[in-house]
Amino acid sequence: MTRKNKQSEQKEIGQQDIDQTYNKLKQDAEEGGHYLNPDADFTKALISGLLMNGQRYGYWACPCRLASGVRQEDLDIICPCDYRDIDINQFNACFCGLYVSNDVVKGKEKTSPIPERRPNFEERKKRREMKEMKEKKEQTTLPKLPIWRCTVCGYLCAREEAPDICPICKVTKDRFEKFM
């Protein structure tokens, strides 16, 4: 297990970086049928945290969760996380509040802190191992093309390998799981 030296952080996150990322995320969200939190100051504070985690870990770990520093262990909490859509459906916001429901944007609903849906460390480890075993088994028995599912937005595609970037929500290849 490798951990980056957290003391070696040097760069401050600049306002320009935050604003640029905010605009980009806002545009991507709207194109994909999602909504950034309309409280711009709050949202930019979260984005600053994301950028900081990007520097610290090399990936955008959720700013409201504790990242391990090991990408493979944190795949489910790389923003947008695997729990975003289900939390928005149930609580009108994702865990950290970066993304919200359309009702929040319209002012019909308000956001508040929500319970953590992410399973604990042992449970996640168990699930990862089960998934790996299942995928290994299927590789030897399935001759036809596998179907890959984006764990963030649910996009499905049948091809030898998952795409490098999800064409719908833009997350990376390692966020896909073998669906069939």
Partner 1 sequence: MFKDLGVEYSYVDVDLLQGKDQEEAVAEIMKWSGTQSFPTIVLDNKKVMLGFKENDIRDYCDKKK
CB of 170 to partner 1, least distance (A): 25
- Beta carbon nearer to partner 1, 103 or 123: 123
- Beta carbon nearer to partner 1, 13 or 114: 114
Binding site for partner 1 (CB under 8 A): 3, 6, 64-67, 112-116, 118, 120
- Beta carbon nearer to partner 1, 107 or 115: 115
CB of 161 to partner 1, least distance (A): 33
CB of 153 to partner 1, least distance (A): 25
Parallel/antiparallel/unpaired status of strands 147-150 and 156-158: antiparallel
Closest by CA to 78, choosing from 37, 22, 118, is: 118
- Beta carbon nearer to partner 1, 100 or 150: 100
Would you say 46 and 52 are in contact if contact means Cβ atoms under 8 Å apart?
no
Environment class of residue 30 by beta-carbon count within 10 Å: exposed (0-12), middle (13-18) or buried (19+)?
Answer: exposed
H/E element, 51: helix 40-57
